[in-house]
Chain A
Amino acid sequence: MSSPSGRMWYALTLVIAITCGVAGYWFTRDAQQVPPKSAEPPHGEPPPAGPVWFRDVTESCGVRLTCRNGEEADQFTILESLGGGVALLDFDGDGRLDIFLVGGGYFDGPNKTTLQGSPCKLYRNLGGMKFEDATAAIELRGQWWYTHGAAVADYDRDGFPDLLVTGYGRIALFHNEPNGKGGRRFVEVGEKLGLRDDSWSTSAGWADLDGDGFPDLYVCHYVDWSFDKNNPVCKSSVPGVSRDVCPPQRFKPLVHALFHNDQGKGFRDITAEQRFKAEGCGLGVVLADVNDDGKSDIYVGNDATNNFLFINRTLKPNELRLDEVGLRAGVAVDDTSRYNGSMGVDIGDYDGSGRPAIWVTNFQGELHALYHNLGRDTFDHKSRHAGIAAVGMSRVGFGTGFVDVDNDGWEDLVVANGHVLRHPSASTLKQRPVLLHNVVADGRRFFRDVAARGGPFFDTPAVGRGLAIGDLDNDGRPDLVINHTNSPTVVLRNECDSGSPWLGVNLVGNGNRDVAGSTVILEGETRRLTRFAKGGGSYLSSSDPRILFGLGTVGHVKRVTVRWAWGKTQTWEGLEPSAYWVLHEGEPTAKRSPTTP
């Protein structure tokens, strides 16, 4: 190798080798970048560990109702988008919550333009999470119309809850009275008592607004749709889909209605007196004392228009004065000054401040709104700060409510979702419900999506509408009933085994006067819990009127204080946990409620 020719060959070989190496790299470097085999999986928070909190007991409990909207007639009316509600009421006074379900309706006749009602049903609670259809037995039958909502109150103060049903073109008030055979029956009395409403009514709520002891009635009205006068045809925004349900913006909002309850003997429409304006497509209403003055105020969720907050400025009984302050108070629009498509509403003390926050479920592309109560009739939009925005904006929220699912003393949130369009863009008709757990993060209250803990129901898309919260089996754990459009109503039993104690209270006003607007404060060793007696709430629905405190780490219950609406403040001590207590206004001793599972 030391000869010149050897060196030459060596050099030549080296040049060729290097050249080949470089060329090899040059031509193969693209091939070295092999792409991954599958698309990136979507990221998600790991589900919190532990057994699920809710079990779907629909099959075994005997509740069988599917709320219809008549979409099979392909009329694509906005009427189809609203759905139906749920009311929980102990109609027979046996200490167990019964379930009233709204049936909806359909389109009939040769042109499929005649509205017909699907039957509503009432299920009697037999105990042990078993129900029977009692609709016929209680004579709650007859000619149903296209129905939407239900609201419960004892309008005549006879000690038994009565039932108001709303819908298109009519409302009906069913009086709960003895049937002469030792049982109960419902008799329609609205017409007789002057409670007439031929508008399109949705959610409704009861509360004694003027301090006369009898609950007055707020009825939300939606828009001026009708087959005869205003039935536009709307194109879908989805390519290849010719038609869909029209949005509310295609219609004019209707004036909502307020009925004064004349001592349980009649109703008077006082809408004009209160100078209500046709400025809101009403879908949700909750009545409660939001400013701690002992009087029920009214919050209304409107679709595609500003939400209303009527502060009750009544100074003397029977001289009702409502002041609409929604925009000024910061609860009419969202944090970008846009009005939302609002549906479900509720109030609750989510952060232990003692003041009721307002909670609103909204349309796709909008945040559900948590309005933090600052006092002074002002609120601050806290959806981002409280982590609620993390659930995204692709869902359309309807039935909802504050509910302390795990009895830790902090109110969580639940939302039933489902789109109003048949072919929504950037979303789906059926949508998963949402369960938000109220936790602490960075030293503040924060809502974390815990759908995985909710059980299979929370992982199943559906067209959710009305939702009611109540302890159906009196075990101190709040259960849920959700009414779906065109699919069966679902009953969820709360089986959260947190081990936390609880305490329930059943407020009874003096002479059975209405208690909505009252505030209940439970003082424990470590914390104070504040809850509110409400009228209305959620969407088209009416929840358990009792107030349930999850005691978590509250410790020994020192006292429970009730600030009665239009009344005094009263305190009880020595209430044992794991029981419901009846707190009678004016009576110094609380009675253990004779509840059975």
Chain B
Amino acid sequence: MRPRKPAATVRPTSPSPATARNWKLLTIPAVAVATCGLIWLAWSAFRPDPLRQAREELERRDFPTAMNHLAARLNEHPDDPEANLLAAQTARRAGDFTVAFERLKIAERKSGRTESLDLESRLLKVQQGDSQEADALFNRYIDHPEFPETPLVMEAYLEGRLWVLAPRSDSEMDARKAEAAGVAKLHRAVDLWLRLRTGKADTAQGLVWRGRIQVFENEHAKGIFSLREALVLDPNHFVARWHLAMAVAQDSPTDAARHLETLLAREPENYPIRFGLARTYRMLGRTQDSQRILSELRAIRPNDPSVLLELANLALDAGRVDDATPLVTRVLELTPDSPPVLLTAMRYHQLANHPDEVERYRKRVESMQAEQQKQRESAAPSKP
């Protein structure tokens, strides 16, 4: 009798030690690969791409941060034409025309003249005040909101034209000159900008331009409203607050001082803001506050004639003639033909009881007045 094979029984499969080892060897690398893949996917989606980061910052109109990202990119790829073009554009939009020009040149060297570079080159001219180029681009783009470049063109147009028409915050439109048409174009550019660029930062910027235009065309109440609206959208909008401070200064220097104080809290070392605040404090009769700031500024720039002049006038305001003596002497050395300096010198000699010197400066002030009168008369409107 042949021995019977034992009947086959179903037993739970239990891998042999060798098989189990094989599985482990396969699974662990697979999981590792899958994890790395996922991480890579996540990384590739959100890795710090300087170009993308720069564009995102530009959406927020944070030009310095955008430039930092672009600098990082250009460190690794100095010849990247896209990065160079974007850097040129960013620098221009930030008002740094030297850097903009340099970047533009590099981009041109690397990729030759392209349509994008050509436009950027023209925008650089527009933003620097080239009226002809500004009008040409304005006319080409104003009726084409669908062009992707249109917002950039409008922005450069507004910055450049405002720089020419209203270089100072207290510039006013001269109704006798052909500025009305230019102002109408500015309004059209702002309207189009606000229609196309609906992000918060760009809307705030549009309102700042609108406010500046309104102040320029003597619509102060409207201008102040627009600037206030801009600050509602972006309370940290430095330029909006600066222009608002200037716009309200005539009606309410107290309000102007508060806006300048806010700006100074953000940029405690900002020299022009500190000087502006010191002058506003003097206007308000807050002589001690004014004196403190001006003394700090003098420590930074000992020969700034504006600071020395304000300090001299503060001393004269308080009747401290002796304190004013070195200040007046120095500021006269620095700017001997400045009308405000001559007037302060006259005031100084008046308070110091030097009638001959008063007379000498009086004559100079009078001749200045005569010159001013001539200019006024030549600018007087002609009979219709």
Residues of A within 8 A of B (CB): 4-5, 8, 11-12, 15-16, 19, 22-23, 26, 30, 33, 35-40, 42-45, 232-239, 249-250, 306, 327-328, 330, 333, 335-339, 365, 374, 376, 378, 380-382, 384-390, 392-394, 425-427, 441-442, 446
Which residue of chain A has the shortest Cβ distance to B235 in the bound complex? A36
> CB-CB < 8 A to B380: which residues of A?
249-250
Cross-chain pair count, CB within 8 angstroms: 164
Known contacts A8-B35, A378-B350: A384-B175 contact under CB 8 Å = no
Known contacts A337-B343, A380-B347: A40-B285 contact under CB 8 Å = no
Tell me the residues in window 363-384 of chain B with beta carbons closer than 8 Å to chain A beta carbons. Answer: 365-366, 368-369, 372, 376, 380-381, 383-384
> CB-CB < 8 A to B125: which residues of A?
none
Q: Are A385 and B287 closer than 8 Å at their CB atoms?
A: yes
B252 contacts chain A at the CB level, 8 A cutoff: yes
Cα–Cα distance between A517 and B124 once the two chains are bound (Å): 68
Q: Are B358 and A328 closer than 8 Å at their CB atoms?
A: yes
Tell me the residues in window 249-294 of chain B with beta carbons closer than 8 Å to chain A beta carbons. Answer: 250-255, 258, 282-285, 287-288
Known contacts A33-B200, A239-B180, A425-B172: A337-B339 contact under CB 8 Å = yes
Known contacts A335-B347, A374-B351: A387-B362 contact under CB 8 Å = no
Q: Are A22 and B285 closer than 8 Å at their CB atoms?
A: no
Comparing B86-94, B159-167, B225-233, B295-303, the segment that makes contact with chain A is B225-233
> CB-CB < 8 A to B383: which residues of A?
232-233
Tell me the residues in window 222-254 of chain B with beta carbons closer than 8 Å to chain A beta carbons. Answer: 225, 228-229, 231-235, 248, 250-254
Cα–Cα distance between A552 and B248 once the two chains are bound (Å): 37
Q: Are A442 and B287 closer than 8 Å at their CB atoms?
A: yes
* Given pairs A232-B384, A236-B175, A306-B369, 20 additional interface contacts (CB within 8 A): A4-B24, A19-B42, A35-B234, A40-B231, A42-B252, A43-B252, A43-B254, A44-B252, A44-B255, A234-B381, A249-B380, A337-B365, A365-B250, A378-B358, A381-B347, A387-B284, A388-B285, A425-B219, A426-B251, A446-B285
Cα–Cα distance between A353 and B345 once the two chains are bound (Å): 25
B 164-192 binary contact with A (CB < 8 Å = 1; else 0): 00000000111110001001000000000
Q: Are A15 and B42 closer than 8 Å at their CB atoms?
A: yes
A to B CB contacts below 8 Å, 11 in the list: A4-B28, A4-B31, A8-B31, A12-B34, A40-B228, A239-B217, A337-B342, A382-B317, A384-B282, A390-B285, A392-B251
Residues of B within 8 A of A (CB): 24, 27-28, 31, 34-35, 38-39, 42, 46, 172-176, 180, 183, 200, 217-220, 225, 228-229, 231-235, 248, 250-255, 258, 282-285, 287-288, 313, 316-318, 339-340, 342-343, 346-347, 350-351, 353, 358-359, 362, 365-366, 368-369, 372, 376, 380-381, 383-384
Q: Are A330 and B350 closer than 8 Å at their CB atoms?
A: yes
Q: Are A15 and B38 closer than 8 Å at their CB atoms?
A: yes
> CB-CB < 8 A to B27: which residues of A?
4-5
Q: Are B219 and A385 closer than 8 Å at their CB atoms?
A: no
Q: Are B232 and A38 closer than 8 Å at their CB atoms?
A: yes
Cα–Cα distance between A19 and B175 once the two chains are bound (Å): 59
Which residue of chain B has the shortest Cβ distance to A364 in the bound complex? B250
Q: Are A380 and B351 closer than 8 Å at their CB atoms?
A: yes
Q: Are A35 and B200 closer than 8 Å at their CB atoms?
A: yes
Known contacts A45-B254, A236-B175, A425-B218: A23-B46 contact under CB 8 Å = yes
Interface-central residue, A328, A333, A335, A426, by most chain B CB under 10 Å: A426
Minimum Cβ distance to chain A for residue B317 (Å): 4
Which residue of chain A has the shortest Cβ distance to B46 in the bound complex? A22
> CB-CB < 8 A to A335: which residues of B?
313, 343, 347
> CB-CB < 8 A to B254: which residues of A?
43-45, 390
Which residue of chain B has the shortest Cβ distance to A15 in the bound complex? B38
Q: Are A330 and B347 closer than 8 Å at their CB atoms?
A: yes
| Partner pick for A239 among B183, B339, B358, B359, CB 8 A cutoff | B183
Q: Are A387 and B285 closer than 8 Å at their CB atoms?
A: yes
